[in-house]
Amino acid sequence: MAEQYFMDEVTALKQAVQKASRIREYSKDEMEELIDQKLSERIDWAKENNPGLYWYYQNLSFKDRSTLKYTITESVEGLGILGKIIMDPDITEVMINGYDTIFVEKSGKLLRLEEHFENDEDLVRIVQRFVSSMDRTVDASNPIVDARLEDGSRVHVAFPPVALNGATVTIRRFSKNPMTVEKLLEFKSITPEAADFLQKLVVSRHNIFVCGGTGSGKTTFLNAVSNFIPAWERVITIEDSAELQIKNVPNLVRMETKKANSKEAVEITIRDLIKASLRMRPDRIVVGEVRGEEALDMLQAMNTGHDGSLSTGHANSAEGMLSRLETMVLTGSADLPLEAIRQQIASAVDYIVHLSRLRDFSRKCMEITEVAGYEDNKIRLNPIYRFQEDEHSTVKKVSGRLVRTKNKIVKMDKFLLAGIYDYLEGKDGEDGQ
């Protein structure tokens, strides 16, 4: 009963304080005085009108009274429920779909919270305060905002009129401890053999694209394999929101795009940063995600002495990634013939790694495919590893592993230059296993 009184009083006092604070701005000290005033008025009202509530206040301990006042202050000045959610270290994804619908991904499971915001107005107020802390503004005239928290978490906000169910907030949080290949092995996302192959690809400076759908773990995977980069190299990372955590490379330059805002009209794009990075003497360029016309610049960089570069892209297969790259290049260079684009892709990209989030919500590496060349107006793909489900798979649980195909590796030059002879004819195993 006492707990219900507490929640009801937080709501009632919060509304009273908000009503008063809409008239004028209050300093921190004035806000404390206002809350004390509204609390006294509430107790006086209860004495005359609600004996049960008055009894509750009469028996309220000093600690509980302080907690009540703090909760009201946090609700009015802080982030309320949102603040509580983002403080939970086990929550990796937050999805707010209007004031009364909140989903979170916690410890790998998608959950709907019973808690919710008071109303649309409450949600809008808190989200605007949240966004302003990141030097952004969101309202009906500027309804879509992308931002990043200090801890690197990625934030996307959509307001009406584009969000039909009310304000929508999506927060993607990242672990303070970067993903490693050891953890991928622990999660059975890859096999030890495939991990060893990926390490040799990175060390021998192959250009790699990691592809997959939303939530498949592309950035996480890229984080892991990036740590195979030798410590003596100079690496430039380029991202929309800084998420990569490369720890073993001292000569590391991190770059992030910049959106134009109300204060400054200057916008710095991925394309701008790729062009800038070429003047910074990089050994490798790592682009968090290629999604537009900057694909051409990335391919040109791969083709002009920046072997070993890495990037990700949205696609549901290796073939889909090639099609996406073609489309992205065409958006910025519609006058280029398709044949020339395909030749450029085939020459620049060495391997495509395809990831997927499966029906049991596990994240797996589904395929490691060599881009073997260009012939008959097509880019030739040569799958080296493929995920195969086994007899233990069910509708609810996926069981299987990456399996080495019988295909021989076509392009050996980068392996040989790096002194890696494992995949020469006769060294790879008769059946490829």
Look at residues 172, 202, 224 and tell me which one is the last residue of a structural domain: 172
162 shares its domain with 197: no
Output the domain CATH number for residue 398.
3.40.50.300
Total domains present in the chain: 3
Give per-residue pLDDT as tens, 343-370. Answer: 999 999 999 999 999 988 889 999 999 9
> How high is the pLDDT of residue 229?
94
Q: How many Å apart are CA 88 and CA 300, to the nearest integer?
A: 43
pLDDT reading at 218 higher than 60:
yes
> How high is the pLDDT of residue 41?
86
> How high is the pLDDT of residue 7?
66
Q: How many Å apart are CA 317 and CA 1, to the nearest integer?
A: 56
Q: How many Å apart are CA 37 and CA 97, to the nearest integer?
A: 35
What mean pLDDT, rounded, does the chain reach? 85
The average pLDDT across 94-118 equals: 87
8 shares its domain with 128: no
Within-domain flag for 322: yes
Q: How many Å apart are CA 135 and CA 263, to the nearest integer?
A: 10
Within-domain flag for 79: no
- Binned at pLDDT 50, 70 and 90, residue 28 comes out as low
Residue with structure tokens 């605007």? 128
C-alpha torsion angle, residues 315, 319, 321, 327 (rounded to 10): -110
Within-domain flag for 427: no
150 shares its domain with 205: no
369 shares its domain with 317: yes
- Specify the amino acid at residue 414: K
Q: Quote the distance between the C-alpha of residue 378 and its chain's center.
A: 33
pLDDT reading at 44 higher than 80:
yes
242 shares its domain with 296: yes
Peptide bond into 250 cis (omega under 30): no
Beta-bridge partner residues of 157: 145, 169
- Specify the amino acid at residue 390: D
Q: How far is CA 300 from CA 169, 305, 312, 344, in A?
A: 36, 9, 16, 8
168 shares its domain with 185: no
pLDDT reading at 99 higher than 60:
yes
| Sequence-distant (≥ 6) Cβ neighbours of residue 114 within 8 angstroms | none
| Residue 27 burial class via C-beta count within 10 angstroms: exposed 0-12, middle 13-18, buried 19 and up | exposed
Give the phi and the psi of residue 59 in degrees, each rounded to 5: -100, 10
Q: How many Å apart are CA 238 and CA 277, to the nearest integer?
A: 9
| Sequence-distant (≥ 6) Cβ neighbours of residue 208 within 8 angstroms | 201, 202, 225, 309, 310, 311, 349, 350, 351, 352, 353
Token pair listed for 383: 């799958």
> How high is the pLDDT of residue 27?
64
Within-domain flag for 77: no
Give per-residue pLDDT as tens, 287-334. Answer: 988 988 899 999 999 988 889 999 999 999 999 999 999 999 998 787
> How high is the pLDDT of residue 370?
97
Output the domain CATH number for residue 106.
3.30.450.370
- Binned at pLDDT 50, 70 and 90, residue 274 comes out as very high
Give per-residue pLDDT as tens, 124-183. Answer: 888 887 887 777 788 888 899 887 776 677 888 999 999 988 899 998 877 666 678 898
Give the phi and the psi of residue 308 in degrees, each rounded to 5: 90, 10
225 shares its domain with 336: yes
395 shares its domain with 332: yes
Q: How many Å apart are CA 394 and CA 161, to the nearest integer?
A: 43
Within-domain flag for 103: yes
261 shares its domain with 312: yes
Beta-bridge partner residues of 111: 104
> How high is the pLDDT of residue 263?
59
- Binned at pLDDT 50, 70 and 90, residue 20 comes out as low
Within-domain flag for 366: yes
9 shares its domain with 51: yes
- Considering only CA atoms, which of 213, 153, 227, 151 is closest in space to residue 183? 227
- Binned at pLDDT 50, 70 and 90, residue 200 comes out as very high
Q: How many Å apart are CA 205 and CA 274, to the nearest integer?
A: 18
pLDDT reading at 77 higher than 60:
no
Look at residues 140, 155, 172 and tell me which one is the last residue of a structural domain: 172
* Contact assessment for residue 202 and residue 229, using Cβ atoms and an 8 Å cutoff: yes
147 shares its domain with 198: no
> How high is the pLDDT of residue 155?
87
147 shares its domain with 101: yes
Domain of residue 228 covers 181-417
Within-domain flag for 10: yes
* Contact assessment for residue 227 and residue 235, using Cβ atoms and an 8 Å cutoff: no
